[in-house]
Structure 1
Amino acid sequence: MKIVDIKEKAVPIKSEISNAYIDFSKMNCSVVAIVTDVYKNGRRVVGYGFHSNGRYAPSGLLHERFIPRLLEADSNAILNEEGTNFDPHKIWDVLMTNEKPGGHGERSVAVGTIDMAVWDAVAKIEEKPLYQVLAERYRSGKVDDKVFVYAAGGYYSPDKGLKELQEEMKGYLDLGYSVVKMKIGGASLEEDLKRIEAVLEVVPSGRNLAVDANGRFDLETALAYGEAMEPYNLFWYEEAGDPLDFQLQAELSKNYKNPMATGENLFSMQDARNLIRYGGMNPKQDTLQFDCALSYGLVEYLRTLDMLKENGWSARNVIPHGGHQMSLNIAAGLGMGGNESYPGVFEPFGGFAGNTPIEDGYVGLPDVPGVGFEAKENLIKVLRSVAE
């Protein structure tokens, strides 16, 4: 059993939207295909991976360091003890050979992209959905048969006024979502409050609306927004300041009493641990959004979940960023609090199996080996084009 080839291609996202910091019109995404010599049901096993939106394709890192290391590794160094499947933990060690501690960021995206493809291949070889593989290995076989998902939207766009924003959010509710999220920080406080109040007119309550500043604010602005929004009793107030400014987060936590969320731009267990140590987050109400595909993959994510447990946090406090099927599998297999979703945005990478409806804010999972990419027609076409 061996890996015979690894291919990578940078694919454009082409979304004409923006948040408080960036626009996505020139954003792209690395797609990786790990080609094995294993056949199941007459088809060669190929593991696919990609990374979440918000980070550019790390093609250079993949081709210069990480793909060559994995291709050059001895087969025995990447297989499980029985020699019947690939070992993601051993593969992770191979990928990180000769890498110094620290330096998280784009490197973690490259490794996370390969890691997703590895787990896809592993589950396909076992002929099981990834969520089932994870549950059997790490949760005594228990799988959540449905996962809470919220609709992330409300981006800034030149042609989106208050009416269009309301229509967008009503559309998400009509799709079956119970919680929607919108961007703030790309306009003045006064204008953003008008946008929030417009959405509150069409959702059942403040508990059905989350807001996301994408790390835009300094402490003074973060506090001002918090004071203005607190009466709305929102679902959460997300990533007010720079993701590594733990003091800002801690000060905000002292002053803003409603739920908060952050963590999508922390790319290692060590950074996640610093957030828990110094960020003032509340395990009774706050949400952590670490993204497997951006933070060295599932192998590192398991370390992060162990760290959280040691510090009194439940996996139910974790709702990953990313809005894709890998995070959905992790949430179902490891018992996390839910998953992000981008209805109609960042296609074909965002979203879930094409025929799986959202019902009362929850989504089911397809019974498809691997991550389940094959159940999403527009995505699997892109993925197979890289391999073939």
Structure 2
Amino acid sequence: MSSTSLDQGRIAHASLQVIDMPLGAARGGSGATQLQLVIIRLTDTDGASGSGYTYSLGPGMAATAALLEELHLPAIAGMPLEQWDRTRRHLQEATHRLGTGITQLATSAVDIAVWDLRAVRTGLPLYRLLGAHRSEVPVYGSGRATHAMSTAELVAGSRSYVDEGYRAVKLRVGMRPPAEDVARVRAVREALGDDVGIMVDANERFDLATALWMAPRLAELGVLWFEEPVATRHTEAYRMLSSRHAPPLAVGEHVLSASGFVPFAASAPIWMPDAPLAGGVSEFLRIDALAEAHGASLTPHFLPELHVHLVAAGRTTTWLEHFPLLDDLLEETLEIRNGRAAPPDRPGHGLRWDEDRLSAHRVRCAELSA
């Protein structure tokens, strides 16, 4: 075999940048006003490139970038693409005593970049490389509902989604008195009618007693799911809630591995992994397989521009969440028509970063060549 063929598909160059961008008005139920990203770009010996990323709603990316520079990028320098699964396992073993969190975020960014590069090399959109099960996916509206809104504003934001063709919307609870939250959900239900799906997200803000009080009232309003009513670590609370009159429970944006979903197999049938946090595309595929084995369904958290591929390719996936987190950093956002979205029909995941906007918010960069 010639040296040229041996070099095909090897990582020749990797770059890293840290982006720190204020969000202006608080986004969603978290109340976040700061977005940090680590964006990884990989280039192979044939000149093909792919990008991946991870993020935090607040600080944390400096530590992630430091780990990537120390461990992950040197580990993939010169690596043939087909060896990523093995390298990924070695990285997990090397960071085992550090736990999840930053270690998983770092792996996620590289993993997404590797899958993007693999798809680019094959000339296929990512969802087709993964084995597409559908060409478009249903989207629910999530970005026009905050605690700061009046009830009238909440109704107006929800109705605007329906006017654009969406068939479901998500509301937030947990920052107002529980009875007031229920009244706000009821107002949206009365305004939209029974044919529009409503999801409710508490962002882990309730104790068990409050969640037990609210759950049957949400069920009476036909809520499709009750998302993260209590902290994800309280798995026994989810088991108790699931045994009462309650909407189906949803959990997962804070679960950072496939194994982390196992305790919820009997209590929360809707799993919400976030690929840039939970291990990238590789771990999402494992979570999808686990969900299929347990009869659960997946609807990923945030980031529709990437997750549209995973929903289109997944076996247990249902909804895609519309939430405008990255809009200010992209040249184009995902097009949604009549409440449905199709993955970009170009090689890779198709994210097109706005280089000028990235440069304006860049606080750190690094490069490594094999």
Cα distance per residue 1:64-101 (max 9 Å; x no partner): x3334343337665432xxxxxx441342353351116
Equivalent of 1:147 in 116, 137, 160: 137
Q: What is the aligned partner in structure 1 of residue 100 from structure 2?
A: 104
**Measured at CA, do residues 117 and 76 of structure 1 come closer, stay the same or move farther in structure 2, by a change above 3 Å?**
closer
Amino acid of the residue matched to residue 72 of structure 1? P
Q: What value does the CA root-mean-square deviation take over the aligned residues?
A: 2.8
Q: What is the aligned partner in structure 1 of residue 64 from structure 2?
A: 61
Higher strand proportion (structure 1 or 2): 2
**CA offset at residue 108 of structure 1?**
1.6
Q: Contact (CA 8 Å) 1:144, 1:332: kept in 2 or not?
A: yes
Once residues 272 and 161 of structure 2 are traced to their aligned partners in structure 1, the CA distance between those partners, rounded to angstroms, is 21
Q: What is the aligned partner in structure 2 of residue 280 from structure 1?
A: 267
Equivalent of 1:370 in 335, 341, 348: 348
Identity of paired residues, percent? 22
Alignment of 1:107-126 (within 5 A): 107-126=103-122
**CA offset at residue 248 of structure 1?**
0.7
Q: What is the aligned partner in structure 1 of residue 336 from structure 2?
A: 357
**Measured at CA, do residues 383 and 373 of structure 1 come closer, stay the same or move farther in structure 2, by a change above 3 Å?**
farther
Cα distance per residue 1:284-329 (max 9 Å; x no partner): xx3111111111212222222333333x325xx1111123322111
**CA offset at residue 110 of structure 1?**
2.1
The question of 1:239 aligning with 2:228 is answered yes
SS in 2 for 1:16: strand
**Measured at CA, do residues 70 and 17 of structure 1 come closer, stay the same or move farther in structure 2, by a change above 3 Å?**
closer
**Measured at CA, do residues 367 and 229 of structure 1 come closer, stay the same or move farther in structure 2, by a change above 3 Å?**
same
**CA offset at residue 102 of structure 1?**
7.0
Cα distance per residue 1:254-282 (max 9 Å; x no partner): 11343221111111122111222xx523x
Q: TM-score, structure 2 length as denominator?
A: 0.85
Q: What is the aligned partner in structure 2 of residue 301 from structure 1?
A: 284
Q: Mean alpha-carbon deviation: is it higher for 103-112 or for 148-157?
A: 148-157
Once residues 56 and 341 of structure 2 are traced to their aligned partners in structure 1, the CA distance between those partners, rounded to angstroms, is 21
The question of 1:3 aligning with 2:30 is answered no
Once residues 288 and 275 of structure 1 are traced to their aligned partners in structure 2, the CA distance between those partners, rounded to angstroms, is 9
The question of 1:320 aligning with 2:300 is answered yes
**Measured at CA, do residues 206 and 107 of structure 1 come closer, stay the same or move farther in structure 2, by a change above 3 Å?**
farther
Alignment of 1:38-53 (within 5 A): 38-39=46-47, 45-51=48-54
**Measured at CA, do residues 4 and 24 of structure 1 come closer, stay the same or move farther in structure 2, by a change above 3 Å?**
same
Q: How many residues align?
A: 353
Once residues 369 and 293 of structure 1 are traced to their aligned partners in structure 2, the CA distance between those partners, rounded to angstroms, is 19
The question of 1:341 aligning with 2:341 is answered no
Q: What is the aligned partner in structure 2 of residue 17 from structure 1?
A: 26
Cα distance per residue 1:28-73 (max 9 Å; x no partner): 222222233433xxxxx3322223564644232332x333434333
Q: Contact (CA 8 Å) 1:131, 1:333: kept in 2 or not?
A: yes
Q: Contact (CA 8 Å) 1:292, 1:301: kept in 2 or not?
A: yes
Q: What is the aligned partner in structure 2 of residue 32 from structure 1?
A: 40
Once residues 298 and 109 of structure 2 are traced to their aligned partners in structure 1, the CA distance between those partners, rounded to angstroms, is 20
Q: What is the aligned partner in structure 1 of residue 5 from structure 2?
A: none
Q: Contact (CA 8 Å) 1:17, 1:25: kept in 2 or not?
A: yes
Q: What is the aligned partner in structure 2 of residue 84 from structure 1?
A: none
The unaligned stretches of length 5 or more in structure 1 are 40-44, 81-86, 136-141
**CA offset at residue 206 of structure 1?**
7.0
Q: What is the aligned partner in structure 2 of residue 172 from structure 1?
A: 161
Amino acid of the residue matched to residue 71 of structure 1? L
**CA offset at residue 346 of structure 1?**
4.6
Amino acid of the residue matched to residue 23 of structure 1? G
**Measured at CA, do residues 55 and 175 of structure 1 come closer, stay the same or move farther in structure 2, by a change above 3 Å?**
farther
Q: TM-score, structure 1 length as denominator?
A: 0.81
The unaligned stretches of length 5 or more in structure 2 are 1-9
Once residues 158 and 26 of structure 2 are traced to their aligned partners in structure 1, the CA distance between those partners, rounded to angstroms, is 16
Amino acid of the residue matched to residue 81 of structure 2? L
Amino acid of the residue matched to residue 273 of structure 2? F
Once residues 179 and 22 of structure 2 are traced to their aligned partners in structure 1, the CA distance between those partners, rounded to angstroms, is 31
**CA offset at residue 382 of structure 1?**
4.7
Q: Contact (CA 8 Å) 2:125, 2:350: kept in 1 or not?
A: yes
Amino acid of the residue matched to residue 292 of structure 2? K
The question of 1:331 aligning with 2:321 is answered no
